[in-house]
Amino acid sequence: MIGDGAAAPSCIDEIIADRFACRDFSGEPVGRGTIEQILRVARFAPSGANIQPWHVYVLAGEARGRVSTALREAHETARDEHKSEYSYYASDLPEPYLQRRQEFGRLFYGSLGIAQTDIEARSRQTAKNYAFFGAPVGLIVTIDRRLQVGSWLDLGMFVQNVLLAAAGHGLQSCPQETFSRYHRILRPLLSIPAEQMVVCGISIGRAREGTRGRLMPRADLAEFASFVGFEEQSETQEERTRPWEAETS
Least confidently predicted of 49-58, 65-74, 189-198, 240-249: 240-249
Q: Which residues pair with 207 in a beta bridge?
A: 25
pTM of the model: 0.89
Give residues with Cβ within 8 angstroms of 135, minimum separation 6. 22, 25, 27, 174, 203, 204, 205
CA distances from 43 to 29, 56, 80 (A): 23, 11, 35
**Mind listing the pLDDT tens digit for each residue in 128-168?**
999 999 999 999 999 999 999 999 999 999 999 999 999 99
Whole-number pLDDT of residue 4: 60
**Mind listing the pLDDT tens digit for each residue in 99-117?**
999 999 999 999 999 998 9
Confidence label for 179 from pLDDT (cuts 50, 70 and 90): very high
Q: Does residue 67 sit within a domain?
A: yes
Q: Does residue 245 sit within a domain?
A: no
Strands 196-205 and 54-59, by their bridges, are unpaired
In total, how many domains does the chain have?
1
Query: Whole domain around residue 129: which residue ranges?
Result: 11-86+93-220
- Asked if 44 and 161 count as a contact pair (C-beta separation under 8 A), the reply is yes
230-248 b/e (C-beta count within 10 Å ≥ 16 → b): eeeeeeeeeeeeeeeeeee
**Mind listing the pLDDT tens digit for each residue in 3-37?**
566 788 899 999 999 999 999 999 999 999 999 99
pLDDT tops 50 at residue 249: no
Q: Does residue 235 sit within a domain?
A: no
Q: Which CATH number characterizes residue 206's domain?
A: 3.40.109.10
Q: Does residue 44 sit within a domain?
A: yes
Q: Does residue 247 sit within a domain?
A: no
What is the average per-residue pLDDT within 185-201?
98
Q: Does residue 169 sit within a domain?
A: yes
pLDDT tops 50 at residue 2: no
Distance between CA atoms of residues 115 and 105, nearest Å: 10
Q: Does residue 130 sit within a domain?
A: yes
Q: Does residue 228 sit within a domain?
A: no
Confidence label for 234 from pLDDT (cuts 50, 70 and 90): low
- Asked if 53 and 147 count as a contact pair (C-beta separation under 8 A), the reply is yes
